[in-house]
Amino acid sequence: MKDFKGRTALITGAAHGFGKEFVKQAAQRGMKIAAVDIMEDALKEIEPLAMELGAESVLLFPCDVTEYEQVKCVVSKVVEEFGSIDLLMNNAGVATFGAVWAVPPIEYEWILDTNIKSHVYFMHEVIPVMMKQGTHCNIVNTCSAAGTFTSKSAAAYQASKFGALALAESVHYDLIDAGADIHMSVYCPGFIQTHLDHSEEYKQEKYQIDDPYYGSKYHQAMQGAAAYFIKTGRPIDESGPIVFQAIEDDQFYIITHEHYDPYIKARCENMLARKNPELVPIDHNIRQ
């Protein structure tokens, strides 16, 4: 997509982190913005910010992206109000960390529903709209470097991100096969100063249970590690320009932390050599 002005961007997870940065970029390009988030109070702050930066118009949609009926309603209202959807940014995401035998299974439901199924729901509803428009459109799914290689204590998160990446690749092939003028992209960053370490603040009631795990020292340690890695990550303000440049270039893989490249390569080489996985000592503090 080269011409953004007056076109419509639907951005999930828009109230914080990457989503908020994407809103800023869309606004600066004069787009109409449909901002989606489960955090209604924080979402209200997006409209004045976007309008001040140059957005043509802004609609706010409090929405639980794990609920298909709510997603259908949002997409329908966006089309009704704006007449089109030209850019879909599936950005809503959550994280949880720990060993599979320690983490309650409902945590997997929460993270897989949010990080994969929400992508399915929005693409299922939005792609037919884009096809009908007949104009060049883009979809960007926020994945993660965690979807390109594996590490310890991250089974739930990495399963969700590997799934999200595989989903996007497969959809990419199907769009080409269908002759659709819709380009897929996946944003796969490493640690960046987002709001991801605060995921539990917006965990829906349906995923909350009374379990000793949540008061354990192990859980606290996992939460502390996540907070450290996020807080010592790269500045978030570099994210928006990188992603929107990739949209302009119709670039599929948006992989920003180049120092992870050897880990991705090693994983692929081990698979092709039929070797067992090898845990790599990842330096999370590398910035460049």
Positions annotated as catalytic residues are: 157
Q: What is the DSSP string of 51-100?
A: HHHT-SEEEEEE--TT-HHHHHHHHHHHHHHHS---EEEE-------B-T
Helix, strand, or coil here: 180?
coil
Residue 69 to residue 63: CA distance in whole angstroms: 10
The beta-carbon contacts of 266-273 under 8 Å, at least 24 apart in sequence, are: 266/149, 267/148, 267/149, 267/150
| 105 C-beta neighbours (distance < 10 Å), count | 10
Nearest alpha-carbon partner for 24 in 48, 59, 42 = 48
Q: In a 3-state reduction of DSSP, which class is residue 194?
A: coil
Q: CA-to-CA distance for 50 and 175, rounded, in angstroms? A: 31
Strand partners, 60: 35
Query: What distance in Å separates the CA atoms of residue 168 and residue 155, rounded to the nearest whole number?
Result: 20
Q: How far apart are the first and last CA of the chain?
A: 28
Beta bridge partners of 278: none
Please, how many CA atoms are within 13 Å of residue 137, restricted to the half-sphere of its CB? 28
The one-letter amino acid at 114: T
Number of C-beta neighbours around residue 85 at 10 A? 24
